[in-house]
């Protein structure tokens, strides 16, 4: 397995592989950049078919977290972890405790949060052996409701705000009544996004690998079920990928009928040049690390202490950030993803030039 020559390796600061034969744990932790602060990112559990697939995912996701936190103006760096295994069959308390011990061994360089395949209770189990987990504190959430630390509500709300900004920019409408939206992935974030859209009057089509998730959206939100083969290519206004990444590629982009792509999944582009491919087709792409930053914003404020109003205002600003990206793209003729990358790099490169985050900030955030 090549690492330093891997196409997704981007001068990552740290990469560790952890195996615990007793519990079956096989995990990878990647820290991309800590110039703005300690690396914070989700711990994902997924049945990767190969070790290479897991490595590629963790390298891409950790870099994406650096850009996401910088673009959201948070004093955090970028990191991610992946556990190789089926979360519905292979997850156990012993496995999660072993993961917690590994995280503790990293000394706070990386802070884990909930992600696909893990939950707040899972992070609490890891927390038996490490203080370096986040998104587990019970408090009043950004929406004024009791929260157990789950960042999914904030991620979904921020994606909804960003989707509205994209629709306003591309379609020239603020009213979402009758807007046709196809959502790929209807789990914790996707379902909440669907609910926001339903309440705004949108028409929904949904797909998920788990039939019960789709059925819930059909029963509770009046969504129409779609197949895995069709969900991205329906004649809708907006496609919202909220599952795995790399779904925008050479095969899918030519078949898209929607005018807007705005979803919560990470790393939607299979390659960087697919950003331009979307623009060439006249499709407005809301860069994923800009639109789905609500969760990391929520987790950041959990650790620093802030009022729900402060958190909500910061998440609401996702719409302003995307509008700036769209406007710059129009003026320059360059694709939105490239513009978002530049904005994020401006923010974390400045910190790199001054050296790594100071100890006071590390102590406050980590």
| pLDDT value of position 358 | 43
For the chain, the three-class secondary structure string (H helix, E strand, C coil) is CCCCCCCCCCCCCEEEEEEECCCCEEEEEEEEECCCCCEEEEEEEECCCCHHHHHHHHHHHHHHHHHHHHHCCCCCEEEEEEEECCCCCCCCHHHHHHHHHHHHHCCCCEEEECCCCCCHHHHHHHCCCCCCECCCCCEECCCCCEECCCCHHHHHHHHHHHHHHHHHHHHCCCCCCCCEEEEECCCHHHHHHHHHHHHCCCEEEEECCCHHHHHHHHHHHCCEECCCCCHHHCCCCEEEECCCCCCECCCCHHHCCCCEECCCCCCCECCCCHHHHHHHCCCEECCHHHHCCHHHHHHHHHHHCCCHHHHHHHHHHHHHHHHHHHHHHHHHCCCHHHHHHHHHHHHHHHHHHCCCCCHHHHHHHC
| pLDDT value of position 351 | 66
Domains annotated for the chain, with CATH where assigned, are 14-62+80-136 (3.40.50.10860), 151-347 (3.40.50.720)
When pLDDT is cut at 50, 70 and 90, the band that residue 360 belongs to is: very low
Taking only the tens place, the pLDDT of each residue in 215-245 is: 999 999 999 999 999 999 999 999 999 998 8
Taking only the tens place, the pLDDT of each residue in 256-276 is: 999 999 999 988 999 999 999
Average pLDDT of the residues in 60-69: 92
The answer to whether residue 366 scores a pLDDT higher than 70 is no
| pLDDT value of position 80 | 97
* Length reported for the chain: 366
The answer to which of 5-19, 146-160, 316-330 has the lowest mean pLDDT is 146-160
| pLDDT value of position 56 | 93
When pLDDT is cut at 50, 70 and 90, the band that residue 350 belongs to is: low
The answer to whether residue 322 scores a pLDDT higher than 50 is yes
| pLDDT value of position 133 | 95
Nearest to 202 by CA among 230, 169, 224: 224
Q: How far apart are CA 133 and CA 104, in angstroms?
A: 9
When pLDDT is cut at 50, 70 and 90, the band that residue 363 belongs to is: very low
Q: Supply the mean pLDDT for the chain.
A: 92
The answer to whether residue 357 scores a pLDDT higher than 80 is no
Look at 361 and 97; give whichever has higher pLDDT: 97
| pLDDT value of position 158 | 97
Look at 342 and 366; give whichever has higher pLDDT: 342
| pLDDT value of position 141 | 80
The answer to whether residue 157 scores a pLDDT higher than 90 is yes
Average pLDDT of the residues in 311-315: 94
Active site residues: 80
């Amino acid at each position: 397995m090549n690492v330093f020559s891997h196409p997704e390796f981007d001068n990552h600061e740290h990469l560790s592989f952890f195996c615990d034969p007793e519990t079956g744990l096989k995990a990878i932790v990647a820290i991309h950049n800590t110039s703005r602060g300690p690396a914070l990112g989700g711990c994902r559990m997924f049945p990767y078919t190969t070790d290479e697939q897991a490595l590629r995912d963790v390298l891409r996701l950790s870099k994406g977290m650096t850009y996401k936190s910088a673009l959201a103006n948070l004093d955090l760096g970028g990191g991610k972890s992946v556990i190789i295994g089926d979360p519905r069959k292979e997850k156990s308390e012993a496995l999660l405790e072993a993961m917690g011990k590994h995280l503790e061994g990293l000394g706070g360089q990386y802070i884990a949060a909930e992600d696909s395949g893990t939950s707040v209770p899972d992070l609490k189990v890891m927390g038996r052996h490490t203080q370096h987990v986040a998104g587990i504190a019970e408090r009043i959430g950004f929406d004024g409701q009791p929260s157990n630390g789950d960042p999914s509500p904030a991620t979904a709300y921020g994606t909804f705000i960003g989707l509205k900004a994209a629709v306003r920019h591309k379609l020239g409408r603020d009213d979402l009544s009758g807007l046709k939206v196809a959502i790929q992935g209807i789990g914790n974030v996707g379902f909440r996004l669907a609910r926001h859209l339903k309440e705004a009057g949108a028409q929904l089509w949904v797909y998920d690998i788990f039939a019960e998730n789709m059925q819930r959206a059909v029963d509770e939100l009046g969504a129409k079920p779609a197949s895995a083969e069709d969900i991205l290519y329906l004649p809708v206004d907006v496609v919202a990928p909220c599952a795995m990444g790399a779904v925008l590629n050479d095969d899918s982009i030519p078949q898209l009928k929607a005018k807007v792509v705005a979803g919560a999944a990470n790393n939607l582009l299979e390659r960087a040049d697919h950003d331009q491919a979307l623009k060439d087709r006249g499709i407005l792409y809301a860069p994923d690390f800009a639109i789905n930053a609500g969760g990391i914003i929520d987790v950041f404020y959990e650790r620093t202490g802030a009022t729900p109003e402060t958190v909500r205002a910061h998440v609401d600003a996702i719409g302003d950030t995307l509008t700036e990206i769209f406007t710059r793209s129009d003026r320059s003729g360059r694709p939105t993803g490239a513009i978002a990358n530049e904005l994020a790099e401006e923010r974390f490169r400045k910190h790199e030039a001054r050296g790594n985050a100071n100890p006071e900030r590390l102590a406050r955030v980590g």
